[in-house]
Chain A
Amino acid sequence: METEGDVEMEERIRTGVAAATGIAIGKVLIWKNRVLPVTKRTVTDCEGEKDRYREAVAAARRELVELRSKVAGKLGAAEGEIIEAHLLMAEDPELTAGVLQKITEEKVNAEYALESVIHSYEALLEGVDDPYLRERGADLRDVKTRIIRLLQGEKGQNQVKIEKECIVVADDLVPSETAQLDQGKVLGFVTAKGGMTSHTAILARSLGIPAVVGLGEEISQLAEGKLLIVDGAQGVVISQPSADCLRVYQEKQEKARAERARNYRRLAAVMGEEAISKDGKRVIIAANIGAPVDIEQALAHGCDGIGLFRTEFLYMSKNHLPTEEEQFAAYREVLEKMGEKPVIIRTLDIGGDKHLPYLQLEEESNPALGYRAIRICLDQTAIFQTQLRAMLRAAVYTRAPGGLQIMFPMISSLQELRAAREILAEAKSALVSSGIKVGKIQVGMMIEIPSAALLTGAFAKEVDFLSIGTNDLIQYTLAVDRMNGKVAKVYDEYHPAVLRLVKYTIDMAHAEGKPVGICGETAGNPRLIPVLFGMGVDELSMNPGRLLETRDLVRSMNYKAAKDLAEKVIMMAETSDQVKEYIAEFK
């Protein structure tokens, strides 16, 4: 609690910007940013001076290239890209031209010339509205420091040893310095300057340690060696904490630590393992993603593949139709990152309930039953063609043995499926005759409309794979709008009618020798997974957060027992309560 009096004696809470969550309790280490004084000198040998500058830039380049590979490995791509920006700045043609010109015109030393030119750029950046851009001034200063250090003849980078665990307190932190920090010993960061997007914040988040930035001048009150509590989530630092305060935070820390250890153990135990039941039945555990950026999460949680790559993001985040090139780049990125793991990409599945002005979708009274998904694509074939072309071209980049799996949503009849396949065939031959490389693909469809489920046998003859979209299947089977809160209770994933349709689909598809996956939310529901597994589903695709638990669950199950459970549910349950009863008896 804040009280009057000597701040050094009393517990004091100071607030800054909550830059990275977590709790750190440790001793303060004051980090002094290196200041390199620059004096203006007159030079007579301008050419020599220019050469000296060029050499320093070349040396800076070598340092940064080395730093980039170290940083990207330790801290991930985001940090690596900041170093990349430093590289570009150091070699920037305008900067170099400006410095060389100043040396020639004013006959000054390289250090002074560099400092003045950078100063004018810094002034430009300060005048910019965007806080993120303004903070980039720190990057500029770091590049300047690096080059000046080299000009002044210091070889090698700052090697600063941190002996004991501590909380690093600084005016500001720059990449060239923090890359040298012994990560294991830093418990948290506190800086006077900076915001959510400053280097310190990004670094702390990627290291998983707490950080409070933008504390301002008060930072000078934090004394070296004294105990400090950093609460990253709240954005506060507490100096001279009372015994009570300390205890509360220590408990919070312990709890968090125990949670992390539990997750880590589970991760370690299950991550690389196949999802095979105790009696040897395997199922593919895949991830649902909405954009390439989700891949990291999916891989981090150990997916066997991507069971559903939703492509709507391409159409929703822009104010124009995504071009073939834009789509190609996105699909290619996902396929390259997934390597040998299979990827299922779903074609456009959007309707009037999403506001897409450029698509001119009229308001409908029943959008779920209206002009959407494959119906739009079969009507506006140019849009469909563009997407399929992009997929066919991107297919070259997968290393999955089966190729890229293309999946059509919302198919209700064989005519629709055949029409879609024809357009795909046209797209392929157009590419081939233009001499554009086309990769290996498989064609599949979603089973989400009851008519498709009931005719699975016929569909299975004409596709390579099927995936049950339980969200919409439930909606259409129970005649309930899943977006309508008023009838939310009617939407019931345990409804025996839905489960019977799922079983029927799996059986009919298997009779034709085709694999079936489930990609709706039900696939990640641990209570229903034993039933689905027992029905013989080949793939379960879910949000990345559920991957590990599901893998763990499958490995703990006995397939024969799950099969019995599924049969019992299908044969005997007439209400969802009964379904839940049978599930509860299981295991």
Chain B
Amino acid sequence: MIEEKVIIKNETGLHARPAANLVKKASTYPCVLKIKKGDKEANLQSMLGVLSLGVSKGDEVSIIADGQDEEETLKQLVDFINHLEG
């Protein structure tokens, strides 16, 4: 299980459109993925989970990957988040 912190930089944070893109992307990986903000944690493959975490621009979150290819998966997801638009 590995973890990496990332700061949300896109303008509107993780709301419907970027959240949808992120969740769709996360759902393509076989391992267990979580996103953590403060002490709240959510399933990164769950749209509702991500939305209800209420992540805005400037927030720092942790991405946790556990399972098959977790290192590569985490790297790609963090990169994806840093490139989120909208």
Query: How far does the alpha carbon of A266 sit from the alpha carbon of B72 in the complex, in Å?
Result: 52
Say yes or no: B82 contacts A326, CB within 8 Å: yes
Query: How far does the alpha carbon of A329 sit from the alpha carbon of B80 in the complex, in Å?
Result: 10
Say yes or no: A318 contacts B47, CB within 8 Å: no
How far is the CB of A94 from the nearest CB of chain B, in Å?
4
Q: Which of B9, B13, B16, B46 contacts A94 (CB 8 A)?
A: B46
Q: Is B83 an interface residue (CB 8 A)?
A: yes
For A323, the chain B residues whose CB sits under 8 A away are 79, 82
Tell me which of B9, B12, B13, B20 has the highest count of chain A C-beta atoms within 10 A of its own C-beta: B20
Say yes or no: A121 contacts B48, CB within 8 Å: yes
Instruction: Name the prevailing secondary structure of the A interface residues.
Output: helix
For A129, the chain B residues whose CB sits under 8 A away are 54, 56
User: For residue A319, which residue of chain B has the nearest CB?
Assistant: B9
For B49, the chain A residues whose CB sits under 8 A away are 92, 94
Say yes or no: B54 contacts A89, CB within 8 Å: no
Say yes or no: A325 contacts B16, CB within 8 Å: no
Query: How far does the alpha carbon of A514 sit from the alpha carbon of B52 in the complex, in Å?
Result: 57
For A81, the chain B residues whose CB sits under 8 A away are 16-17, 20
For A124, the chain B residues whose CB sits under 8 A away are 52, 54
Query: How far does the alpha carbon of A139 sit from the alpha carbon of B51 in the complex, in Å?
Result: 11
Given known A133-B51, A325-B83, contact A92–B46 (CB-CB < 8 A): yes
User: For residue B47, which residue of chain A has the nearest CB?
Assistant: A88
Q: Is A58 an interface residue (CB 8 A)?
A: no
Query: How far does the alpha carbon of A78 sit from the alpha carbon of B20 in the complex, in Å?
Result: 12
Say yes or no: A95 contacts B54, CB within 8 Å: no
Q: Is B5 an interface residue (CB 8 A)?
A: no
Q: Is B19 an interface residue (CB 8 A)?
A: yes
Q: Is A293 an interface residue (CB 8 A)?
A: yes
Say yes or no: B12 contacts A85, CB within 8 Å: no
B:47-86 near A, CB below 8 Å: 47-49, 51-52, 54, 56, 79, 82-83, 85
Say yes or no: A130 contacts B79, CB within 8 Å: no
A:85-108 near B, CB below 8 Å: 85, 88-89, 92-95
Mark contacts of A61-96 with chain B using CB atoms, 8 A cut-off: 1 yes-contact digit, 0 otherwise: 000000000000000001001101100110011110
User: For residue B82, which residue of chain A has the nearest CB?
Assistant: A326
For B12, the chain A residues whose CB sits under 8 A away are 130, 132
Q: Is A554 an interface residue (CB 8 A)?
A: no
Given known A132-B12, A318-B9, A325-B83, contact A121–B52 (CB-CB < 8 A): yes
Query: How far does the alpha carbon of A125 sit from the alpha carbon of B42 in the complex, in Å?
Result: 14
Query: How far does the alpha carbon of A130 sit from the alpha carbon of B45 in the complex, in Å?
Result: 22
Query: How far does the alpha carbon of A140 sit from the alpha carbon of B17 in the complex, in Å?
Result: 14
Q: Is A127 an interface residue (CB 8 A)?
A: yes
For A329, the chain B residues whose CB sits under 8 A away are 83
Say yes or no: B16 contacts A139, CB within 8 Å: yes
Query: How far does the alpha carbon of A318 sit from the alpha carbon of B10 in the complex, in Å?
Result: 9
For B23, the chain A residues whose CB sits under 8 A away are 88
How far is the CB of A547 from the nearest CB of chain B, in Å?
24
Query: How far does the alpha carbon of A580 sit from the alpha carbon of B33 in the complex, in Å?
Result: 66
Say yes or no: A318 contacts B51, CB within 8 Å: no
Say yes or no: B46 contacts A136, CB within 8 Å: no
* Chain A residues touching B, range: 20 to 34
B:11-55 near A, CB below 8 Å: 12-13, 15-17, 19-20, 23-24, 42-43, 45-49, 51-52, 54
Say yes or no: A94 contacts B83, CB within 8 Å: no
Say yes or no: A128 contacts B79, CB within 8 Å: no
How far is the CB of A198 from the nearest CB of chain B, in Å?
11
Query: How far does the alpha carbon of A519 sit from the alpha carbon of B18 in the complex, in Å?
Result: 33
User: For residue B19, which residue of chain A has the nearest CB?
Assistant: A85
A:108-150 near B, CB below 8 Å: 121, 124-125, 127-130, 132-133, 136, 139-140
User: For residue A91, which residue of chain B has the nearest CB?
Assistant: B47
Query: How far does the alpha carbon of A317 sit from the alpha carbon of B48 in the complex, in Å?
Result: 28
User: For residue A292, which residue of chain B has the nearest CB?
Assistant: B85
Say yes or no: A85 contacts B20, CB within 8 Å: yes
For A317, the chain B residues whose CB sits under 8 A away are 9
Q: Which of A78, A95, A133, A325 contacts B13 (CB 8 A)?
A: A133
Query: How far does the alpha carbon of A88 sit from the alpha carbon of B53 in the complex, in Å?
Result: 16
Say yes or no: A130 contacts B13, CB within 8 Å: yes
For A78, the chain B residues whose CB sits under 8 A away are 17
Say yes or no: A127 contacts B54, CB within 8 Å: yes
For A82, the chain B residues whose CB sits under 8 A away are 16-17
Query: How far does the alpha carbon of A329 sit from the alpha carbon of B49 in the complex, in Å?
Result: 27
Say yes or no: B51 contacts A125, CB within 8 Å: yes
How far is the CB of A91 from the nearest CB of chain B, in Å?
8
For B52, the chain A residues whose CB sits under 8 A away are 121, 124-125, 128
Query: How far does the alpha carbon of A127 sit from the alpha carbon of B83 in the complex, in Å?
Result: 27
Q: Which of A88, A133, A140, A319 contacts B24 (CB 8 A)?
A: A88
Tell me which of A129, A130, A329 has the highest count of chain B C-beta atoms within 10 A of its own C-beta: A130
Query: How far does the alpha carbon of A323 sit from the alpha carbon of B75 in the complex, in Å?
Result: 12
Say yes or no: B20 contacts A84, CB within 8 Å: yes
Say yes or no: A89 contacts B47, CB within 8 Å: yes
For A128, the chain B residues whose CB sits under 8 A away are 52, 54
Query: How far does the alpha carbon of A392 sit from the alpha carbon of B36 in the complex, in Å?
Result: 36
User: For residue B17, which residue of chain A has the nearest CB?
Assistant: A81
Q: Pick 13 A–B contacts, CB within 8 A, sort by A.
A: A82-B17, A85-B19, A88-B24, A89-B47, A94-B49, A127-B54, A130-B13, A130-B15, A130-B54, A132-B12, A133-B56, A319-B7, A326-B83
- Partner-B contacts on A (CB < 8 A): 78, 81-82, 84-85, 88-89, 92-95, 121, 124-125, 127-130, 132-133, 136, 139-140, 293, 317-320, 323, 325-326, 329
Name 12 extra pairs, CB < 8 A, besides A95-B46, A125-B51: A81-B16, A82-B16, A84-B17, A88-B47, A94-B42, A94-B48, A128-B52, A129-B56, A130-B56, A136-B51, A139-B16, A317-B9
Across the A-B interface, give the 6 residue pairs with the lowest CB-CB distance, nearest first. A128-B54, A124-B52, A88-B47, A94-B46, A85-B16, A85-B20
